[in-house]
Amino acid sequence: MKASIDKDLLPMKAHYFLFNAGTAPVVPFMPPLAKQLGYSDVVVGTMYMILPIVGLLAKPLFGYIADRYHRHRFLFLAGQLITAVAFFMVMFVPAVEKPQFHCHAGVSNIRYCSNYPKDAETQLEAFYGNRTLTCNMACQMEPDMWDIVCQHWLKANPLSDCQANRTKNTLNFSTYIDMKGLIEEANGNMRCLNFLIPHDLGTIDSRNVTLYCPKDKPMFQSSCQMECNDTFINELLPDSSVINMGNAVALPEFWFFFGMLIISWIGMAVVVSIGDAICFGILGDRHHLYGRQRLCGSLGWGIFALLAGLLVDTMSKEGSIDKNYTIVFWMTLIILGFDMLASTKLKHTQTHMSANILRDVGQMFLSIRCVVFFLWCVAIGLGTALIWNFLFIYLEELAQPFDHGANFIKTLEGLVMSIQCFGGELPFFFMSGWILKRIGHVNAMSLVLFGFGVRFILYSMLQNPWYILPIELLNGVTFGLFYATMASYASIVAPPGTEATMQSLVGAIFEGIGVSMGSQIGGQLFDGVGARTTFEIFGIVAFIVFVIHVCVQFYLQRNGPAENGTVKYFAPTDAMHMLNEQEYTGLS
């Protein structure tokens, strides 16, 4: 038979490619951007614990609305629009103001702008008068700044030994600030303080130094964390250190940033769940071809995640700690615009209607087999959270003992993402139909659990971080095969007219419960027992769950109750046999 291409599926393929290509430049960079904006690890972790819960609530809600009011296309396009706009607006989130150390033309001073109380200057004069305080500084460094520090502050000999510090990102030193020389300025809605440094005196590693600023050199200006030997000053400058959760909730810029992330997560939740429902609606009985559509998404993610990382490094100032992420927000806005255009070409109509969506979906929880499926989604979410949120932290720990480990770690992380997509997800998405047809959904579920066990145990045995690259091929089993199995199984067991609701429900269970719980548990274990032991524990648990799953499914196959009611349940090991072999051999 001559293979043919189903033109009705081309817009679906284009959507998966463009949507993943559009979100890839921003999603991986949001946690490091939050750190760059000044927020602590606790703040970042809290946000990424809440965001999956937002998806948990949004997916079933909008899936129900889509099915109830037959507004799949409208919500699908609206989700793409709000995702693009919300991510683009993140570009305008201001960084938290930090004290700036200025060194230029023989003068040193510390400048800090904030919305501190207007009567602060009066209080400072009343409390301190002519006093001089000692402050500890931790300033971000760039390579050219080390030249001034080595030559004029430390007066190092030989100079080359000191300049080897050019790879260090932070300089720690103590200095003195003269409260008598305090100057207050107006800067728009902000108020600024200038702390003068008398006689340019400072201390580095218990060594007294002169913070000399040569006139023939460019201005030495660095963002710093600042802590002084006085409670009132430290309270006046609450933003001078990394922002914890208590301080963050009082900042309007934090809520703007977090609000845009919440909106973008809602948009992505709507697009992913309703998009999968539309895809299965177009495929009809050809559920096994879902993986061939979804692999286009992995292709888009893999290409544009690497491209975005390269562009960010290229457009950022050489040697700078703070990265310029402007290009990724424009990429997202433009690419998702093309995604909306492609999505208008989708030919989808809902052929089945449900008289009572909530009743029909609710009866899924009366099916033992479906409840086991939901619990499997939770278990996979737990393991996925450990990889999404903590794998790169583990890699950076492994790289520390190696010479120049900090120089190659980002390259290694880029290669990890590339192999996950191209070496793992792409082939398994492509072969998922063949695999599901041959072994069935239940056996595929067990295989995914076994794959997680192997992957985590191999992680726990790593000594050289580069050896992780072949392990990442298992991402094809633990994500590519998993996602195809989850989406196609949900489509098969969904009562007619509840397709979008069902896709939303299983996505919410996987991410909103599994990933959210996994993030919290993984973080606690990383902090308590360390990274290596955490992966070992997760690996052992994955093998235990694998054995339990096999035993439960074997029991249900032999002794399980018959399915009744409105749920049109097909045994997952038999479901794919309904598919037409002639349809499978096409290139759709």
Q: What is the CATH number of the domain that holds 81?
A: 1.20.1250.20
More confident residue, 417 or 80: 80
Q: Is residue 469 part of a domain?
A: yes
Which pLDDT score is estimated for 293? 81
At which residue do the structure tokens 């008598």 appear?
A: 180
561 torsion bin: left (phi>0), alpha (psi -120 to 50), beta (else): beta
Asked if the model's pLDDT at residue 354 lies above 60, the reply is no
Q: Tell me the residue type at 33.
A: L
Distance between CA atoms of 552 and 575, rounded to whole angstroms? 19
Which pLDDT score is estimated for 405? 47
Residue 282 · residue 9 · CB < 8 Å? yes
* Residue 75, C-beta contacts closer than 8 angstroms, at least 6 positions apart: 62, 65, 66, 270, 274
> 389: which DSSP letter?
H
Q: 218 and 87, same structural domain?
A: no
Asked if the model's pLDDT at residue 584 lies above 50, the reply is no
Asked if the model's pLDDT at residue 397 lies above 50, the reply is yes
Which pLDDT score is estimated for 66? 76
Distance between CA atoms of 223 and 111, rounded to whole angstroms? 10
Q: 273 and 220, same structural domain?
A: no
Q: pLDDT band for 318, please (50, 70, 90 cuts).
A: low
Q: Is residue 444 part of a domain?
A: yes
Which pLDDT score is estimated for 123? 65
Residue 178 · residue 168 · CB < 8 Å? no
SS3 for 573?
A: coil
Q: 63 and 123, same structural domain?
A: no
Q: 521 and 442, same structural domain?
A: yes
Q: How many CB atoms lie within 10 A of CB 234?
A: 15
H or E stretch at 104: strand 100-104
Q: Is residue 354 part of a domain?
A: no
Q: pLDDT band for 583, please (50, 70, 90 cuts).
A: very low
Mean pLDDT, the chain, integer: 77
Per-residue DSSP letters for 216-267? Answer: TS--EEEEEEEEES-HHHHHH-GGGS-B-HHHHTT-HHHHHHHHHHHHHHHH
Lowest mean pLDDT among 142-156, 359-373, 539-553: 359-373
Residue 73 · residue 329 · CB < 8 Å? no
Q: Is residue 460 part of a domain?
A: yes
Residue 109 structural domain: 100-242
Side-chain-side CA neighbours of 266 within 13 Å: the count stands at 17
Distance between CA atoms of 522 and 385, rounded to whole angstroms? 8
Q: 171 and 234, same structural domain?
A: yes
User: Considering 181, 207, 242, which residue would you say is the last residue of a domain?
Assistant: 242
Q: Tell me the residue type at 338.
A: F
Q: 196 and 62, same structural domain?
A: no
Q: Is residue 248 part of a domain?
A: no
User: Considering 219, 242, 265, which residue would you say is the last residue of a domain?
Assistant: 242
Residue 446 · residue 372 · CB < 8 Å? no
Q: How many CB atoms lie within 10 A of CB 344?
A: 10
| pTM of the predicted model as reported, rounded to 2 decimal places | 0.68
Which pLDDT score is estimated for 127? 66
Q: 281 and 160, same structural domain?
A: no
Q: 267 and 154, same structural domain?
A: no
Q: 368 and 222, same structural domain?
A: no
The CA distances from residue 558 to 74, 468, 552, 554, 561, in Å, are 45, 41, 10, 6, 9
Q: Is residue 437 part of a domain?
A: yes
User: Considering 200, 215, 242, which residue would you say is the last residue of a domain?
Assistant: 242
Token readout for 145 is: 């700044």
101 torsion bin: left (phi>0), alpha (psi -120 to 50), beta (else): beta
Sign of CA dihedral 39, 84, 280, 425: negative
Specify the number of domains making up the chain.
2
Q: pLDDT band for 84, please (50, 70, 90 cuts).
A: very high
Lowest mean pLDDT among 62-76, 366-380, 507-521, 553-567: 553-567
Q: How many CB atoms lie within 10 A of CB 158?
A: 8
Residues 388-400 have a mean pLDDT of: 78
Output phi, psi for 40, to 5 deg.
-75, 170
Q: pLDDT band for 577, please (50, 70, 90 cuts).
A: very low
Q: Is residue 174 part of a domain?
A: yes
Q: How many residues does the chain have?
A: 588
Most confidently predicted of 156-165, 182-191, 211-220, 424-433 = 424-433
Distance between CA atoms of 76 and 55, rounded to whole angstroms? 15
Lowest mean pLDDT among 57-66, 310-319, 517-526: 310-319
* Residue 212, C-beta contacts closer than 8 angstroms, at least 6 positions apart: 106, 152, 153, 200
Residues 496-516 have a mean pLDDT of: 75
Asked if the model's pLDDT at residue 83 lies above 90, the reply is yes
Residues 62-70 have a mean pLDDT of: 75
Residues 242-287 pLDDT 10s: 677 777 777 788 899 999 999 999 999 888 878 877 887 787 767 6
Which pLDDT score is estimated for 106? 66
At which residue do the structure tokens 């109750």 appear?
A: 561
Side-chain-side CA neighbours of 462 within 13 Å: the count stands at 29
Distance between CA atoms of 316 and 245, rounded to whole angstroms? 29
Q: 209 and 291, same structural domain?
A: no
Q: Is residue 352 part of a domain?
A: no
* Residue 579, C-beta contacts closer than 8 angstroms, at least 6 positions apart: 285, 286, 287, 288, 437
Q: 192 and 104, same structural domain?
A: yes
Q: 258 and 231, same structural domain?
A: no
